[in-house]
Structure 1
Amino acid sequence: MSSDLRDDDKQRVRDASNIVDIVGQHVALRPRGREFVGLCPFHDDHTPSMAVIPHKDIFYCHACGTGGDVFSFVQKFHRMEFRPALEYLAQRAGIELKPATAKQAATERDGFDSNSIAEANGIAHIFFRAILAHAEHGERARTLIDRRGISAQMVQEFELGAAPQRFDGFLLKVQSLARSEELFVAAHLLKKRDAGGFYDTFRDRLMFPIHDQMGRVIAFGARRIDDNDQPKYLNSAESPLFHKSDTLYGLRQAARSIQREGRAVIVEGYTDVIACHQAGFTNVVGTLGTALTIGHARTLRRLCDEIVLLFDGDQAGTKAADRAIDVFFNEDIDVRIATLSSHTDAKDPDELLARTDGPATLKAALDLGTPLLEYRFDRIRLAWAGKGPSALNKALTEEIKHLADLGLTNLEPRKRALIMRRLHEITGLDHKTLTDTLPSARARKPRQAPEESATNWSQPGRALPAPHALLGCLLIEPKLWRAHAQDLALLPTGERFDTPTIAMLADCIMGLMRSGQDPSLEAVLDAEHRPEVQAAAIGLATATETQTERNMDRVRTLFEHCLSTLWADHHSSPTDRPPTGDSTDALQQRLDRLRQSRERLPTSARANPWRMKRPT
């Protein structure tokens, strides 16, 4: 454990952090026996492959092999190092940590990685909120807030702020802190002057902080206060911390409601999101001035089963709906299109909800949303009405080609059959005629399975090599090493591991044994901060438990068999020499004793004792 932590810091934070609550903030979980299961956020998961095991304080994906404790989940999900993950969980639990060393603090202060940019954004966020509350400098922004009907509660909930009407307002704040301006340039909060010096990026604007699900400010949206300023909205540029393609405004505030209701609503603007929340529609999020992406779809798919896209119904909304079909076509989630123009003349949710009947009208629009493909087919029917045979054939060919390019031929059969039936209803053409059109279309490649992970040993029928099975036995029955300490200490297994990750796990286990500790899974997770090594440990432990059906006699037999196999393999070569300080006779006696354990195994197990089935 690093020197800048008290020995008990990590354990105190782990004890205070409920892994089900932490993972459940980011993924919809449902109970299954003693575990909770959900879609894995670390690969393109379509069936719940990730298990959260509260009595062990771990999570593990049986599909991609990713796993670890609560720290590694936060590290991997939010792309951060161990120390920031520890600090976040400690703050969440109300635990005070020992401050970072001066050297580490200097590194975080002077570096421009995601953690440094998050720190810079945090400084700006406090500044903007203070400006909004300032009697003079925040008056113009408060007037705009009042004019838009945003309540004081929403100002607090969404943590709105204001940028002052000057070029050096925030710059002076940075300089008063004796911080490097370059960091704030990297965070897109300051800009460089051509003639030298710096100036504020955001001036005279209402500030909307954009949070990740941990609560960190990762970027800002800024709306003009003066109607003559351009552009109307100004967003932070992308950074190591902020990626528009997978970020949704208001998700931090909406996540719990989305999980509870099983449905997310997507709108287009910051004020639309806030107006919806103010009216009680707390499952609403917004895009950041960009088109919907697969990243948005998969972020929400982990939280709910249905998405409603709320559009204005004008030409821009129609184009947005077409883009949504491209994004969601292959995603295993129900998507509906709701249009305001079918229910009201209001141009957006913000305007609608300012009216007395606004909430009821919006609820009706959302509840009567049209399934995404039905929306597409309704528009096709209108567009094709009255076309002659030649024009209809051309339009049909283009539509089927577009659907095939999206992946029609690779859809699961029922969904593909539904699409073909709807095309039949529109065109009157039989199934064979429609199907014959498909070969000429360029089909999208099938969805790729997650890349095979060296730590993913729980796949059905996966054979676990003897060195890996040996480690798995130690993880689930750690006291085994005490009876075989000499054999394990002399066993040269390092070169036998097929990946550096497993080799690092072996080093960790051997290190614990050398210090006199039992190498339990819990001890390894406590000693190791690297998520990939934690995942390897959980994967091997899970696989070994599955194979041995958690029967400790079988674990011991498998362990002794693995030792026997490894000794036999290593000493069968004439070039091998006994380790110094041990006679050949002693080694042979040890080998004979270990080989005897193999004879106690059933014949089927001797043939392939490491074949496993996936847990159900």
Structure 2
Amino acid sequence: MISKSTIDNVFETARVEEVIGDFVNLKKSGSNLKGLSPFSDERTPSFMVSPVKQIWKDFSSGKGGNVVAFLMEHEHFNYPEAIRYLAKKYGIEIEETQQSDEQKQQANERESMYLVSEFASKYFQKVMHKTDPGKAIGLSYFKERGFRNEIIEKFDLGYCLDEWDGFTKEALAEGYKLEYLEKTGLSIVKGEKQFDRFKGRVMFPIKSMSGRVLGFGGRILTNNKKTAKYLNSPESEIYHKSKVLYGIYDAKQAIAKEDNCYLVEGYTDVIQFHQSGIENVVSSSGTALTPEQIRLINRLTKNITVLFDGDAAGQRASLRGIDLILEQGMNVKVCTFPEGEDPDSFAKNHSDEELKEFLEENSMDFIRYKASLLMEEAKSDPVKKAGLIRDMVTSISKIPDNIQQEIYLGECSRIMDISENVLYSTLAQLNAKAGKSSPQKSPKESFKVVKDEEVKPKQKVDEIYKFEKAIIRILLLYGKRDEEFEDLVLKENEHGELVLEPEKQEAKVFEKIFLDLQEDEVAFANKSFQDIYNHLITRLNSDEEFEVKNFINDLDPQLSSEVTDILMEEEQYVLHDWDRMDIFVKDKRDSISRLVSETILMMRRFLVSQKIEELKKNVKDTPEEDNSSTLQDVMDYLTLNKVLSNKLNRVM
């Protein structure tokens, strides 16, 4: 594990505007910076960065947080990966917490394998670009495929010399251990001899979501029928082919932004699509699609479009993959290329616009695709048609969501011209075998119009939520400020009447709020706000120099996101330049003490009003002879409510 001192150092050093500036074009907007959202397509900037508070907020998607949260959202890093990225960017040495000898050995082994793989990738690139055989064989192959230099460099494509041990010798000379060359599968060791696994092949590095080289795919360039055309790295501590997708590192941002992932079969399909301007594409690298690979895509989007070439037999075999995707609760579309074409050749032989247009026009829902593919086989054979329908219902049964199941059953009924009741019955049989429940209502019952009296009333605005949120915001922004507060105290005048008289006192904002809420014995209704409030009071009381950015960094991600939302809420006004339209947003710094008093008094009055309503209900529900004490309580609270209203009017 990364030590806390390293994490603290990273947070202290990293600047949110610098890190985000590497990914988003930011422009000055008052004390903040703004830009177009990296999470959605938009023309008007709704993305705000606060250098002072060291936080960001995307108003189009609702996302926000600190610098680590941005990397986790945008780059899809996990927390340690984000910390390591920042440490590398700012030249911070990473200290690990105390580990057992076994843990250290395992960590060192994995890291050594990563280092060997990174070296191999750079070596293969150098060979292809700097040696005569590399240029003549490797580079010319990629050029013949139509790949431009920038695309070749983007995917770190390379070439392994057609020599028995050229790479192995170089790696050993550079100090890399044979043990790790063998464990990564880059070298084959037989007794005293060592051989290069990828001898004479063009190389495709396979990267993780965070960009580390896990393994390689190598394509041979000769027509040797005894040798596999494509060869992948063997399974290792760092490379598990069933859990990896080729191109995921270069595609992840585009997949999240487009909210769709194109799934192809080969390395060159991915690269050719990128060259055509379509970057939300990954490949299963010639292996059968696995649940782990699907879940990798599921981190980025719920939508997958599977691309098939014109080979009907291959399409039929690939239908199992569609059922796997449905099982993961994802939405599936299918696009088939003309006979004799695959994604690579089609993209190469058509313009970027033609490719995009083809994908848009020919991507169809999986149920229509399956029907069109299998109907050709069934034709007019009733037995085959029955088998086809059962096959389609089997796919629908994989969908975990009952509503989606109903919709697809309706579509299947329409396409296949068969009663929905029969399909429901078939689905129920399949689900019973699998131990799953089926949609209970018949199709007609599902779409009954709800009667007017059954419509639930609209939910009222949660007033207490607004007050609690306002208190958190005040504490975050002004908690440490010294202010003069004017309390209105009830006193008896010379005529024996109770009147409000002002009493002034100096206090820090957080002390005033804390004491007032303690006096009223108020606990926050919202669990997240209560947690944030407890953390805040502790930190404001103990930290001589309270800084919001440090406070946010120490919270767990959920609370950190809540705090960011609260802090950046008013920054949204700046995005729209309301001042230029003569709409001025009140600056609360003009009168902090008044703001605190207003908020606390309004919250008190609301809680008292709630109590009065509760007591009135009790009066109705209890016998009249038992109501005397409750009625007295109501009268007392009504008096208190009047006093609070008077105080509030005086303050406002």
Same fold at TM > 0.5? yes
Return the TM-score normalized by structure 1: 0.63
- Correspondence for 1:225 among 214, 221, 227: 221
Instruction: Specify whether residues 185 and 218 from structure 1 end up closer, same or farther in structure 2 by C-alpha distance, changes over 3 A only.
Output: same
SS of 1:230 mapped into structure 2: coil
Distance, in Å, in 1 between the alignment partners of 2:241 and 2:216 is 11
- More deviation, 106-115/277-286: 106-115
Counterpart contact for 2:397–2:427, Cα < 8 Å: yes
Hey, what does 2:494 align to over in structure 1?
Answer: none
Shift of the alpha carbon at 1:349?
4.2
Hey, what does 1:335 align to over in structure 2?
Answer: 333
Q: How many residues align?
A: 516
- Correspondence for 2:544 among 513, 516, 523: 516
- In terms of Rg, which structure is larger? 2
Instruction: Write the mapping of 1:315-334 to structure 2, written as runs, cut at 5 A.
Output: 315-328=313-326, 333=331
Hey, what does 2:479 align to over in structure 1?
Answer: 478
Hey, what does 1:48 align to over in structure 2?
Answer: none
Shift of the alpha carbon at 1:30?
4.8
- Correspondence for 1:123 among 119, 122, 134: 119
Instruction: Write the mapping of 1:218-257 to structure 2, written as runs, cut at 5 A.
Output: 218-228=214-224, 230-237=227-234, 244=241, 247-253=244-250
Distance, in Å, in 1 between the alignment partners of 2:178 and 2:566 is 51
Alpha-carbon RMSD: 5.9
SS of 1:386 mapped into structure 2: coil
- Correspondence for 1:382 among 373, 376, 388: 376
Shift of the alpha carbon at 1:206?
0.9
5+ residue gaps, structure 1, are 37-51, 91-96, 448-459, 562-596, 603-616
Hey, what does 1:141 align to over in structure 2?
Answer: 138
Return the TM-score normalized by structure 2: 0.60
- Correspondence for 2:17 among 12, 15, 18: 15
Structure with the larger RCO, 1 or 2 (CA within 8 Å, 6+ apart)? 1
Instruction: Specify whether residues 397 and 536 from structure 1 end up closer, same or farther in structure 2 by C-alpha distance, changes over 3 A only.
Output: same
Instruction: Write the mapping of 1:35-54 to structure 2, written as runs, cut at 5 A.
Output: 35=46
Matched to 1:324, the amino acid is I
Counterpart contact for 2:133–2:161, Cα < 8 Å: yes
5+ residue gaps, structure 2, are 26-34, 440-460, 482-506, 519-523, 570-585, 589-594, 605-639, 646-652
Residue by residue over 1:543-570, the C-alpha shift from the partner in whole angstroms, topping out at 9 and shown as x without a partner, is: 8999xxx995489639998xxxxxxxxx
Counterpart contact for 1:75–1:85, Cα < 8 Å: no
Distance, in Å, in 1 between the alignment partners of 2:598 and 2:181 is 56
Shift of the alpha carbon at 1:505?
10
1:132 aligns with 2:128: yes
Distance, in Å, in 2 between the alignment partners of 1:555 and 1:31 is 38
Instruction: Write the mapping of 1:143-542 to structure 2, written as runs, cut at 5 A.
Output: 143-182=140-179, 188-190=184-186, 193=189, 195=191, 200-212=196-208, 215-228=211-224, 230-237=227-234, 244=241, 247-253=244-250, 265-278=262-275, 284-293=281-290, 295-296=293-294, 299=297, 302=300, 307=305, 309-328=307-326, 333=331, 335-341=333-339, 345-346=340-341, 348-351=342-345, 366-371=359-364, 372-388=366-382, 393=386, 396-397=389-390, 399-407=392-400, 409-411=402-404, 413-423=406-416, 425=417, 429-442=418-431, 474-475=475-476, 478-479=479-480, 482-483=508-509, 510=538, 513-518=541-546, 520=548, 522-525=549-552, 527-528=553-554, 533-539=556-562, 542=565
Counterpart contact for 1:407–1:446, Cα < 8 Å: no
Distance, in Å, in 2 between the alignment partners of 1:218 and 1:282 is 21
SS of 1:111 mapped into structure 2: helix
Counterpart contact for 1:28–1:304, Cα < 8 Å: no
Distance, in Å, in 2 between the alignment partners of 1:167 and 1:504 is 63
SS of 1:18 mapped into structure 2: helix
Matched to 1:79, the amino acid is N
Shift of the alpha carbon at 1:164?
2.9
SS of 2:370 mapped into structure 1: helix
Shift of the alpha carbon at 1:86?
0.3
Residue by residue over 1:82-111, the C-alpha shift from the partner in whole angstroms, topping out at 9 and shown as x without a partner, is: 5412046x3xxxxxx34527989x999993
Counterpart contact for 1:181–1:190, Cα < 8 Å: no
SS of 2:431 mapped into structure 1: coil
1:557 aligns with 2:557: no
Counterpart contact for 1:25–1:256, Cα < 8 Å: no
Counterpart contact for 1:250–1:286, Cα < 8 Å: yes
Counterpart contact for 2:308–2:337, Cα < 8 Å: yes
Instruction: Specify whether residues 545 and 6 from structure 1 end up closer, same or farther in structure 2 by C-alpha distance, changes over 3 A only.
Output: closer
Tell me the percent identity: 19
Residue by residue over 1:178-225, the C-alpha shift from the partner in whole angstroms, topping out at 9 and shown as x without a partner, is: 355555555x15457464786644333211123456554343222123
